[in-house]
Chains A and B, each alone.
Chain A
Amino acid sequence: MSWDVIARQDWALTVGERSTKGLLGLLGFVIVVTAYVYPVSGPGPHTTGRFAGAVHGSLTTLVPIVGVLLGYNAVVSERESGALRLSLSLPHSRADVVFGKFLGRVGVVTATLVASLAVAGFLVVYPFGELEAFRYLAFVGFTVWFGGVWTGIGIATSIAAATKRRALVLALFVFFVFVMVWDTVDSGVTLALNFVGLVDGALPDPLQFYFGLEPGRVFGRLTDGFVDPSATVDGAWYLSEWVALVLFVLWLVGPLGLAYRRFARGDLS
């Protein structure tokens, strides 16, 4: 159990980096500004629960890019330079390295998200808003988890690829597929099926489930189901927020687990 040593060093390294400060600063800034604008931007009631629904849109774009950019070089840059050899010469296993790096980076993202959501919550509640403490805590929890999912995807590319450049390409590819083009493909398929007359309106449930697998949509269903009182989740049982909870866990464990298996077996030189 020596991942804590690695996590501590990685935290210090990550926090000290200027590009990290920029990325995290942007994330915090957007969350706080959204909260600042939210009470004056629409009709009431203004609650933290409804705020979650409002900020969710920018989070599903920003958190993934911050996560993959923070994660992609976690291991591979040290592997390329040879610093990984120093760590693995010490009594650390490869699992310790991966888990330590994951905790270090996720820690940094978590601290940013928790701090800015705390400030945001205050801005929403004061002076006229309403705090739904339990729901808001759940939202902070889901957001942090979502940050973990994307940082994990970034780190997964970092341990699967042999060079930093390949890791970056892979990480950005995943980001673009899920965050940039996913919705477009969904709309395209819906339009096409409507056009040929196979469906009328929305997609059938199984297809909805398939498109709903994307982490941002899973996060959205959780927010709709558990946090935002103005939203509802409907459809077949496998479209429910409870299944989304399971999917959320899989998204954290799956990519890292698969990439780790490859990393654990392979030669380092």
Chain B
Amino acid sequence: MTAIEANEVSKRYGTVVALDRVDLTVAEGEIFGFLGPNGAGKSTFINVLLDFVSPSDGSVEIFGHDCHAEGVAARKRIGVLPEGYSVFERRTGRQHLEYAIRSKEADDDPAEILDRVGLDPTDAEREASDYSKGMAQRLVLGMALVGEPDLLLLDEPTTGLDPNGAAEMRDIIREENERGATVFFSSHILEQVEAVCDRVGILQGGELVAVDTIEGLRESLGGGTKLVITVDHMANGTLASVREIQGVETAVEREESTLEVTCTNDAKMDILVELHDAGVDVVNFRTEEASLEDMFIEYTGTGR
């Protein structure tokens, strides 16, 4: 069974295209990272999932329920941390959770959830409108966890959280996934996606430009290996001759005697041989995988 199925979803605001024929399938049980720079259309897509906006074309289903026509049924089995929300005025944190519990017809214990998301009991008795952004984020995550949802839909979940809070958020995402929940979350921060996701989709200008596993994305970059070589000395013209080698994309001298070369996997040996032939002794070398950040920049041409 698929958790999310989007067919050719487009959303236009006048002449502006916010989503352009997005096709996406998220299988049950996976952690899917929805990645893209700000304004790429991530929130628009999630708004379509939640029926806050209706698509100009195409359709989206959650567990087989059309998000527009059967919105309530689609939202029965999901927990949501939306973007651009605010908490209710004059209601305590605990009352927020009780509202979510009644709305989902669940029987969770508010105290347990508060503990899980790291809100202490005294905070829970305060009005939520006095909370900091980070506390509000924890509270609404708590509301999302109510009723053991089969799908967690988190829009920029680490907004307003400190690094510690972000790590706790990742732990909760993993715990929920181990319980059996599918997780779909959007982010413009690469490390977070890299840390927990099985698969990622990269959205750029409303178009889904790539959907793959992180390894798959790396491979599609043609190896994408970075070679860091320490040598005893640099001879004149060495750098130039390394750049001549087939498969080498860039070669730069970092410090006194360190070379950084990005190249395809096959070119690694050729580089070492070339250095040897030039009479340069290799003291040390290591390879690094291209980071997701490099890929991200490659795909979107923007970075963050």
Which residues of chain A come closer than 8 Å to B76, judged between CB atoms? 91
Interface string of B36-78 (1 = CB under 8 A from A): 0000000000010011111000000000000000011101100
Interface 9-residue window, one of A77-85, A102-110, A120-128:
A77-85
Pick from B72, B85, B140: contact of A91, CB below 8 A: B72
Q: Does B250 contact A (CB under 8 A)?
A: no
Main secondary structure of the interface of A (DSSP, over half): helix
19 new A-B contacts, CB < 8 A, other than A81-B86, A92-B72, are: A5-B102, A9-B99, A17-B90, A81-B89, A82-B84, A83-B87, A83-B88, A85-B52, A86-B82, A86-B87, A86-B96, A90-B80, A91-B73, A91-B75, A91-B104, A93-B72, A265-B54, A267-B47, A268-B53
Q: Does B103 contact A (CB under 8 A)?
A: yes
Q: Does B143 contact A (CB under 8 A)?
A: yes
| B89 touching A13, Cβ below 8 Å | yes
Q: Does B211 contact A (CB under 8 A)?
A: no
Q: Known contacts A5-B99, A5-B103, A92-B72: does B84 contact A86 (CB below 8 Å)? A: no
| B85 touching A83, Cβ below 8 Å | yes
The count of chain B contact residues (Cβ–Cβ below 8 Å) is 30
In the bound complex, CA of A96 to CA of B103 (Å): 11
| B89 touching A86, Cβ below 8 Å | no
> From residue A30, how far is it (CB to closest CB) to chain B in Å?
27
| A13 touching B91, Cβ below 8 Å | yes
Closest to B50 in A: A89
Which 8 pairs of residues, A with B, have the shortest CB-CB distance? A89-B80, A82-B86, A267-B53, A90-B103, A268-B52, A81-B86, A85-B85, A82-B85
| B52 touching A83, Cβ below 8 Å | no
Pick from A2, A16, A17, A81: contact of B103, CB below 8 A: A2
Which residues of chain A come closer than 8 Å to B144, judged between CB atoms? 89
> From residue B200, how far is it (CB to closest CB) to chain A in Å?
23
28 contacts between A and B (CB under 8 A): A2-B72, A2-B103, A8-B102, A13-B89, A13-B91, A78-B88, A81-B89, A82-B85, A83-B86, A83-B89, A85-B82, A85-B85, A86-B85, A86-B87, A86-B96, A86-B143, A88-B51, A89-B75, A89-B80, A89-B85, A89-B144, A90-B104, A90-B143, A91-B76, A92-B103, A93-B71, A267-B52, A269-B52
> From residue A19, how far is it (CB to closest CB) to chain B in Å?
12
Q: Which of A91, A93, A96 has the most CB of B within 10 A?
A: A91
In the bound complex, CA of A86 to CA of B203 (Å): 25
Which residues of chain A come closer than 8 Å to B50, judged between CB atoms? 85, 88-89
Q: Does B181 contact A (CB under 8 A)?
A: no
Interface string of A8-32 (1 = CB under 8 A from B): 1100010011000000000000000
Which residues of chain A come closer than 8 Å to B47, judged between CB atoms? 267-269
Q: Does B22 contact A (CB under 8 A)?
A: no
| A88 touching B52, Cβ below 8 Å | yes
Q: Does B100 contact A (CB under 8 A)?
A: yes
In the bound complex, CA of A86 to CA of B143 (Å): 9
Which residues of chain B come closer than 8 Å to A16, judged between CB atoms? 90
